[in-house]
Structure 1
Amino acid sequence: MAKTSSPSSSLSKEEKKAAKIVARAAKKERRGQIWQAFQTQRKEDKRLLPYMIACLLGSAIVFTGLGLLLATWWAGLVFGLIIGVLIAMIFFARRVQSNVYKQADGTPGAAAWSLQNNQLRGKWRITPAIAGTSHLDAVHRVVGRPGIILIGEGATHRVKPLLAQEKKKIARIVGETPIYDIVVGNEEGQTPLRKLNASLMKLPRNITAAQVTDLDGRLSALSSRVGQAGMPKGPLPAGAKTRNVQRAARRR
């Protein structure tokens, strides 16, 4: 049987060298981004470094103690340090994520940003800003295995009528497919931004993956006919001027 050459074996020495340089540059850039994120978080979160050190030392002490019982304390120390580094990095990632959500909370477009940038497990179709107001309140549509989820963000007294209007409009097309509505916020009966994605994952699975694709296609066709609101698809920077966005929304 003839041997099949792998793609890497067909590359010339120059191409392999160039590929290694690109890979090293990508790793260096990734390390730089992590270091920059660490420095930024450390300045804002004074407890970050002590907690990370505690994770490292705590793990080292525990596994060294276990190693002493097995007469291999040095192996326990090495293993404990490795586990400690992993725990510290996980803790760091969680603190960064928490800080990002804290800064985005209450910002127009934050819910759409959360849905689009924090991957949901499974088959989901996200359409931001299917409806909105001149005050930057917005309704986003998510189609997934639970059915259709309408997510509103903004002032409750303005968002709820928007949700009801969109729910009525969609119900004419989707029939008996379940339609859920969620209002993002920190008041009673609302879903905090940081818990939005988790709330979607907890919903029951009511339709198949094929039905998700079909529903999204039908709803996208409806949106293209009606036209979507000119709302932001991510959090607006602090202090950003919203006059132009509001003017565009009023024209719709």
Structure 2
Amino acid sequence: MATEPKMSRKDKRAAKKAETDPLKMSRRRQVVETYRMSKQGDPRIGLWMLGSFLVFGALGFGLFTLLPGSGTAKMVFAIIGGVMIGFLAMMIVFSRRAQNAAFKRLEGQAGAGARALSMLRRGWRVDEVVGFTKQQDMVHRVVGPPGIVLVGEGNPNRLKALMAGERRKHERVASETPIHEVIVGNGEGQVPLPKLMKHVRKLGRQVKPAEVTDLLARLRALDAQRPKVPLPRGPVPTSMKGMRGNMRGR
């Protein structure tokens, strides 16, 4: 009788990683894992989801019953429409509260801003830790419609010099491109982590898509002149990435 071949340590590690990597999970598993992790930081997420389903489902049912027609077909149509509207509302609530729960878990961690910025969709390029200090202050770079956005994390006093230096470096290779500075935090003049993406998107459209390609080429030349520092990655940022892919489809 043939025996099953034993898995090597390398294969076991790969299989274990695949089990926890949202990009390799099924869509149902992504939702389950995202819900499980979100519930740790937001114990009432299940009640909010149920409430939104019932409230908006009932509203949808009521709206569909007002449509012309009568009989069993109209009732079935109203029930299906109510369920669909309720489910849509529930998924919107789930997405928002899961994202907020993830941001809460990220706050205070090194590289939290970069993890939040990774949620930006197409049209944005995020480069993590383009500048840093030994005290783990760091500057990330976002390239998109507003131009160049330098996002600082860490001690505000140390970040002033670090961000000023990064601004000078970027001005040398992209003098005509608008450069914005943002510091992540809860102090005066800072942007809280949950509002970071929204703040960056609201900086406006100052660079045309055709100009971004040339800009990225010049920035690659700048980055080639300096070393990169590895950014520690935790389970929460990965879950955020999986949640984003699951909510908008692969």
The secondary structure found in structure 1 opposite 2:224 is helix
The one-letter amino acid of 2:58's match is: I
Compute the displacement of 1:119 (Å).
Answer: 2.8
Q: Partner of 1:119 in structure 2?
A: 120
Compute the displacement of 1:136 (Å).
Answer: 0.7
Contact preservation (8 Å) 1:149, 1:182: yes
1:65 aligns with 2:62: yes
Compute the displacement of 1:132 (Å).
Answer: 0.7
Root-mean-square deviation (CA), in Å? Answer: 2.5
Measured in 2, the distance between the counterparts of 1:28 and 1:101 equals 22
Compute the displacement of 1:42 (Å).
Answer: 3.4
Measured in 2, the distance between the counterparts of 1:46 and 1:210 equals 46
Measured in 2, the distance between the counterparts of 1:220 and 1:126 equals 13
Contact preservation (8 Å) 2:57, 2:82: yes
Contact preservation (8 Å) 2:113, 2:184: yes
Measured in 1, the distance between the counterparts of 2:166 and 2:40 equals 43
Counting matched residue pairs gives 209
RCO comparison, higher one (Cα < 8 Å, 6+): 2
Compute the displacement of 1:85 (Å).
Answer: 1.3
Give 1 or 2 for the bigger CA radius of gyration: 1
Q: Partner of 1:34 in structure 2?
A: 31
**Structure 2 regions of 5+ residues with no counterpart?**
1-22, 237-250
Measured in 1, the distance between the counterparts of 2:218 and 2:186 equals 33
The one-letter amino acid of 2:120's match is: Q
**Structure 1 regions of 5+ residues with no counterpart?**
1-25, 238-252
Compute the displacement of 1:236 (Å).
Answer: 9.1
Q: Partner of 1:140 in structure 2?
A: 140
Compute the displacement of 1:41 (Å).
Answer: 2.9
Q: Partner of 2:17 in structure 1?
A: none
Relative to structure 1, the CA distance from residue 207 to residue 67 in structure 2 (aligned partners, 3 Å threshold; closer, same or farther) is: closer
Q: TM-score, normalised by structure 2?
A: 0.74
Measured in 2, the distance between the counterparts of 1:99 and 1:194 equals 10
Relative to structure 1, the CA distance from residue 58 to residue 139 in structure 2 (aligned partners, 3 Å threshold; closer, same or farther) is: same
Identity %: 38
Moved over 6 A (4+): none
